[in-house]
């Protein structure tokens, strides 16, 4: 399951990550409403965990924009210290699907997210394919020529975007934003991630699928033209 966690408390984010990643979640994090908006424009998520008290854009405003302007139907679980009935009703009116009050148990967060996911994904798994490479976007399993390939969360993010856009070029800037939003690390970390991805899905096979478009970005296709 791919989830976006929108929470400005980094300690809470670390606790959520430590727990949910053990349950095979693929997580992105945003620490304010503006960065969260950018990520939802670039990516598709199965669920969103949203804090109400956020810098730059509060959670209610973000949720309203998500529903009314972007028309995104991804389930939203609001996470907040506000526990009055009026606060909860405001959250539901803004477009939230569930509400969890801080402090909370990580086990309960996990169960609620699973329930939201199941209700919104009562359909067949979506399979992306390029040549003999496939990616199940629900289970995040990757196969090439029938062989299961184990990838890191960052590699899966990159692979999914390249496969979705195939055979078109995806710019370096877009891939960096995909991984790090508006806080990219120093140096050429993207090149390292692409190297690891190529080692996994190209090197063991006869023909490469990932191609570098110099000074622009990368594309995924059976041919190199």
Task: Give the number of domains in the chain.
Answer: 2
Enclosing H/E stretch for 47? strand 47-51
pLDDT of residue 188: 85
Cross-strand pairs, 218 = 170, 212
pLDDT of residue 151: 94
Q: Is 210 helix (H, G, I), strand (E, B) or coil?
A: strand
Q: Choose the final residue of a domain: 82, 105, 120.
A: 120
Angle between helices 106-120 and 10-20 (to 10 degrees): 70
Which tens digit of pLDDT belongs to each residue from 122-161? 654 588 999 999 999 878 899 999 999 999 999 999 999 9
- Domain presence at residue 170: yes
Residues 20 and 105 in one domain: yes
Q: How many whole angstroms separate alpha carbon 120 and alpha carbon 116?
A: 6
- Domain presence at residue 40: yes
pLDDT of residue 126: 80
Residues 45 and 85 in one domain: yes
Cross-strand pairs, 211 = 219
- Domain presence at residue 34: yes
pLDDT of residue 98: 94
- Domain presence at residue 196: yes
pLDDT of residue 225: 60
Residues 152 and 76 in one domain: no
Q: How many whole angstroms separate alpha carbon 109 and alpha carbon 165?
A: 33
Q: Which structural domain, as residue segments, surrounds residue 102?
A: 2-120
Distances (CA, A) of 16 to 59, 151, 152, 174: 18, 21, 18, 26
Residues 104 and 132 in one domain: no
Residues 78 and 8 in one domain: yes
The tens-digit pLDDT sequence of the chain (225 residues) is 899 999 999 999 999 999 999 998 999 999 999 999 999 988 889 999 999 999 999 999 999 999 988 888 899 999 988 778 888 888 899 999 999 999 999 999 999 999 998 888 765 458 899 999 999 987 889 999 999 999 999 999 999 999 999 999 999 999 998 888 877 777 789 999 999 999 999 999 989 999 999 989 999 998 766
- Domain presence at residue 225: no
Q: Choose the final residue of a domain: 95, 120, 145.
A: 120
Q: Choose the final residue of a domain: 120, 155, 184.
A: 120
Residues 9 and 109 in one domain: yes
Residues 105 and 141 in one domain: no
Residues 110 and 148 in one domain: no
Residues 101 and 7 in one domain: yes
Beta strands in 131-184 (DSSP E): 133-136, 142-144, 147-149, 169-171
CA torsion through residues 109, 31, 28, 66, sign: positive
């Amino acid at each position: 399951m791919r989830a976006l966690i929108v929470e400005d408390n980094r300690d809470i984010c670390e606790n959520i990550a430590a727990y949910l990643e053990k349950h095979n979640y693929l997580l992105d994090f945003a620490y304010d409403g503006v960065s969260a908006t950018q990520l939802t424009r670039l990516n598709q998520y199965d669920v969103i965990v949203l804090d109400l008290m956020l810098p730059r854009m509060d959670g209610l405003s973000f949720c309203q924009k998500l529903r009314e302007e972007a028309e995104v139907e991804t389930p939203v679980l609001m996470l907040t210290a506000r526990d009055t009935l009026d606060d909860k009703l405001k959250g539901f009116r803004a477009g939230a699907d569930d509400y969890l009050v801080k402090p909370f148990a990580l086990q309960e967060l996990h169960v609620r997210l699973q329930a939201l996911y199941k209700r919104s994904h009562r359909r067949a798994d979506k399979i992306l394919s390029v040549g003999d490479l496939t990616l199940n976007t629900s289970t995040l399993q990757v196969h090439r020529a029938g062989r299961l390939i184990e990838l890191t969360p960052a590699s899966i993010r990159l692979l999914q975007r390249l496969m979705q856009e195939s055979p078109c070029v995806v710019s370096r800037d877009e891939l960096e934003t995909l991984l790090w939003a508006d806080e990219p690390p120093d140096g050429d970390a993207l090149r390292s991630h692409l190297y690891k991805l190529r080692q996994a899905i190209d090197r063991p096979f006869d023909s490469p699928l990932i191609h570098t478009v110099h000074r622009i970005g990368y594309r995924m296709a059976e041919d190199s033209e």
